[in-house]
Amino acid sequence: MTLTVFIPGSPAPQGSKNQFGGESCKRLPGWRSDVRNALLNADNLPKASLHGPVFMVAEFVLPRPKSMAKKRVGVLSETKPDYDKLLRAMGDAITSSCVFRDDAQIAAGGWIKRIAEIGETPGCHLFLTEVKTRADAIALLLCVMGERETA
């Protein structure tokens, strides 16, 4: 089973705590809801059900700063939010949608964190599939990253 989906919204990190022990990112609940809604069908059931080890690729498209020059295209993000915190939020949101039982099932994959092109909707391109072996995971990684490279 494979699931490919674009989740529109503003990717939010999970893991930074405020002085009271709660999440410091106020956008996190909305982003989790966006992810969950994108992974559920009209009957509020998961669009896919992954039971074994999961291969995940997430391409986070962050909002384009108004101050960024129009000539700058294909820009990778080197600023906050941190990639690991974006992935943590994504894994927990996918778990809450019941696409898989626990984000610990994510055994392999990759990620890209970049700035949206002019007129592009921020969000996340998400690819999930079950894998059985290391060789399968490596082949998928090379294939998926090669396809995104040409896009």
Model pTM score: 0.89
| Segments forming the whole domain that contains residue 93 | 8-150
Residue 1 lies in a domain: no
Please name every residue paired with 124 in a beta bridge, in sequence order, or none if there are none. Answer: 7, 60
Residue 2 lies in a domain: no
Residue 3 lies in a domain: no
What CATH number does the domain containing 96 carry?
Answer: 3.30.1330.70
* pLDDT one-digit tens code per residue, 105-147: 999 999 999 999 999 999 999 999 999 999 999 999 888 767 6
Q: What is the CA radius of gyration of the chain?
A: 16
* pLDDT one-digit tens code per residue, 22-72: 777 889 999 999 999 999 999 999 999 999 999 999 999 999 998 888 888
Q: Is 125 exposed, middle or buried (0-12, 13-18, 19+ CB in 10 A)?
A: middle
